[in-house]
Amino acid sequence: MKLKKFLSSILLVILLTFSVTSYANIDDPDAWDYIWLDEAVEEGKNTKEPQILSRYVVAYDRNSKTVIWGKNENTPTPMASTTKIMTSIVMLEQLGTDRLGEEIEVCKEAAGTGGSRLGLNTGDKVTYNTLLYGLLLCSGNDAAVQIAVSVSGSVENFAELMNQKAAELGLEDTHFVTPHGLDRDGHQTTALELAKITDYALNNPKIAEVVSTKQYTVTINGYPKTISNTNELLGYLDGVNGVKTGFTSKAGRCLVTSVVRDDLNLITVVLGADTRKIRTQDSIKLIEYIYKNYKQVNIEELVQSEYESWCKINNGRIFVYKGTKRRPEIYLEERKI
């Protein structure tokens, strides 16, 4: 009986080790088979309409502020760690960039926060800059809580600031309960409103700089620690310069991506994917489909060009019978859209 228990224990340890290793490999971009990523690129370029499996999706043009492609983009849903985009907005608007070098002491509440972590312990000395990179690169929930406590005194107070900002941005279906995005009742947004939050965030040069960083060395208690960006498309797909990943059991796999190619500046939001592979494939297919089938057009220049061509053809054909002028004055009326 003792031998059976011993062997069972060994088998359990082996299985747990295998499971943890397998999960770690899935989340490690360097361990991925990038062949299927290349296949997703080709599919996106050659499809008439992308087949998207994720539940809530939007492609949003930053220049015109319009939706190019959507799927349930106005349906409220949990958004996991993509929440941290708003966390970074509130943090920087409350502190400014001048205080990023300021050192603070990590509280017990932050150190005890689970999920993805920067790796903070109670009493650690860190700067706001370290917390910001830890928030947006390795998606540290501990960094999120410490930011909330240091900036506003508590997670609850900080969530109120997040909701005030959402209201300022005119977001009607977005509500924050935490700064990290772990599942809580009432913590939600929509794919479209998250795209709008991201659009606003990227106007902040510091946020744009951080989310476009592949690796960064932070300092905790004076010791360096190199952290990596969890965004698998950064450094792989042409034009990608951010933004944020996310995962919880309620939200599913989430990915917000910013892409700039030529004059088209795109944000895609993918929420509610069943696997990381699906969220990545969906993002790639949508991005490549948009850039294959859409381009930025200056309507004013297009209208003016068409008008000038029309004038060349028709100016000599138009006259007024019994008018004060035989040849009318022709001009293009200005209208504000």
Distance CA 165, CA 197 (A): 10
Residue 81 catalytic? yes
**Catalytic, out of 71, 84, 196, 244:** 84
What is the CA angle 127-133-136, rounded to 5? Answer: 140
**Structure tokens, 120:** 């903070």
Q: How many Cβ atoms are within 10 Å of 95's Cβ, its own excluded?
A: 16
Annotated catalytic residue within 54, 88, 116, 139: 139
> What are residue 16's phi and psi, to 5 degrees?
-65, -40
Residue 314, token pair as written in the block: 């028709």
Q: Pick from 138, 142, 150: which is nearest to 225 by CA? A: 138
Write down the catalytic residue from 81, 150, 152, 283.
Answer: 81
Residue type at 277 in one-letter notation: K
Q: For residue 183, give every residue at least 6 positions away whose Cβ sits within 8 Å of its Cβ, in sequence order, or none.
A: 78, 248, 249, 250, 251
- Could you confirm whether 8 is annotated as catalytic? no
Strand, coil or helix: 47: coil
**Residue 134 in contact with residue 219, Cβ under 8 Å?**
no
139 is catalytic: yes
Phi, psi of 235 (to 5 degrees): 90, -5
**R_g over Cα of the chain:** 25
Give the separation between CA 74 and CA 190, rounded to whole angstroms: 5
Residues with active-site annotation: 81, 84, 139
